[in-house]
């Protein structure tokens, strides 16, 4: 009863709410995509999604480690408030989670691959869950699910690939000598080979994005919302596990035919904790007051070109290695990183 009152639809007279698709990469820095200035590889599917939707140039995660970032996404709360502060830790049991809210809005929820982190995934109570996260597996499981699905409710589909997380097993077609090396990395033959393997997996996740969009265009509503992002930056120095931009600035693209103007970009600063309230807003629900996240639906609708005045980001290690604290705050002009 509480959730029903909390998430009562503001659009109850609408015949059907839009389907929602969230596609997540694993360890992908925004700067490595051509869309954000990268020059080493082409990503045609990501570019096509951008041409059909809105690109966020200042999207940041709440924390640059997998479990913590994903917990913030799925709870709309900063790590200190949801309980998942160190990597491989999970939210407190009493914390409200996105699938429960969407279920109460009469959505079917499904998660394939790495959406929540590892063994915590069942605790989020998706209606359908499959933890296989490699693209060849996802290619089969997601396709079968969409083709055989009979649930009449609108669908909130979350798909998370393991790419481009280490160990980069794909055979790389990227010439190490053709790569433009980021200035923060040592330019050595070994680093170039590692970068080529990483970039190959970026190409792989881009190719699967094209397949996923073809599937969802076929099986879901014409006005489906499609969101693409990454849980944090790449696993190179000054990236993952740090609060430099390579670690916390991620790609974010949102498309919805007829609702979001195609081919637009915004400098509005948004956090990953803002995604949950935005999806609730799109789904016609009332955003809970206790969340740290704020809906950026008005940005998507073109009603405003600003969102947050400041972004907070935290890192608390993993209790095993990378045992150090970092905190950061940024505005549109300044950034402070505190490493006590």
H helices present in the chain, as ranges? 2-6, 44-52, 66-75, 79-82, 98-104, 135-148, 189-219, 245-248, 275-282, 297-300
Instruction: Read off the pLDDT of each residue in 190-210 and give the average, rounded to a whole number.
Output: 98
**pLDDT interval class at 32 (50, 70, 90):** very high
pLDDT given for residue 9 in this prediction: 42
Among 182, 157, 162, which residue's Cα sits nearest to residue 238?
182
Higher pLDDT, 240 or 12: 240
- Which pair of structure tokens corresponds to residue 323? 């045992």
Q: How would you class 9 by CB atoms within 10 Å of its CB: exposed for 0-12, middle for 13-18, buried for 19 or more? A: middle
Residue 37 scores a pLDDT above 80: yes
Tokens of 33: 């995509």
pLDDT for 2 equals 40
**Average pLDDT value over all residues in the chain:** 94
Ordered by start, the domain boundaries in the chain are 14-273
Fold (CATH) for 14-273? Alkaline Phosphatase, subunit A (3.40.720)
Tokens representing 28 are 């992908």
- Predicted confidence band of residue 320 (pLDDT cuts 50, 70, 90): confident
Residue 319: predicted pLDDT: 80
Task: For residue 14, name the pLDDT band (cuts at 50, 70, 90).
Answer: low
Strands 20-25 and 225-230: parallel
Confidence at 15, pLDDT banded by 50, 70, 90:
low
pLDDT of res. 59 = 99
Structure letter (DSSP) for residue 36 = G
Do 278 and 244 meet the contact criterion of CB atoms below 8 Å apart?
no
If you average pLDDT over residues 164-173, what whole number do you get? 94
């Amino acid at each position: 009863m509480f959730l029903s009152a909390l998430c009562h639809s503001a659009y109850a007279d609408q015949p059907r709410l839009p389907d929602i698709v969230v596609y997540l990469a694993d360890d992908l820095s925004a700067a490595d995509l051509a869309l954000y200035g990268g020059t080493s590889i082409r990503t045609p599917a990501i570019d096509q999604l951008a041409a059909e939707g809105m690109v966020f140039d200042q999207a940041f995660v709440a924390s640059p480690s997998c479990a913590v970032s994903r917990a913030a996404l799925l709870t709309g709360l900063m790590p200190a408030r949801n309980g998942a502060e160190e990597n491989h830790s999970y939210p407190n049991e009493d914390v409200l989670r996105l699938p429960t809210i969407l279920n109460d809005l009469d959505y079917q929820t499904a998660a394939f691959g790495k959406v929540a982190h590892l063994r915590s995934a069942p605790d989020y109570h998706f209606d359908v869950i499959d933890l296989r996260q490699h693209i060849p597996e996802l290619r089969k499981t997601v396709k079968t699910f969409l083709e055989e699905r009979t649930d009449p409710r609108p669908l909130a589909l979350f798909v998370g690939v393991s790419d481009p997380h280490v160990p980069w097993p794909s055979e790389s077609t990227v010439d190490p000598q053709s790569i433009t090396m980021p200035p923060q990395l040592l330019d050595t033959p070994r680093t170039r080979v590692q970068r080529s393997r990483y970039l190959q997996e970026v190409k792989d996740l881009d190719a699967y994005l094209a397949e996923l969009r073809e599937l969802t265009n076929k099986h879901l509503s014409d006005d489906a919302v499609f969101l693409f992002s990454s849980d944090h930056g790449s696993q190179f120095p000054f990236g993952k596990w740090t609060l430099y931009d390579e670690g916390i600035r991620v790609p974010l693209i949102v498309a919805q035919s007829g609702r979001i103007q195609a081919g637009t970009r915004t400098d509005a600063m948004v956090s990953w904790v803002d995604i949950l309230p935005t999806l609730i807003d799109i789904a016609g629900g009332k955003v809970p007051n206790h969340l740290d996240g704020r809906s950026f639906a008005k940005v998507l609708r073109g009603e405003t070109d600003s969102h947050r005045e400041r972004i907070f980001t935290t890192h608390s290690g993993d209790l095993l290695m990378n045992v150090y604290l970092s905190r950061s705050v940024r505005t549109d002009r300044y950034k402070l990183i505190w490493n006590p």
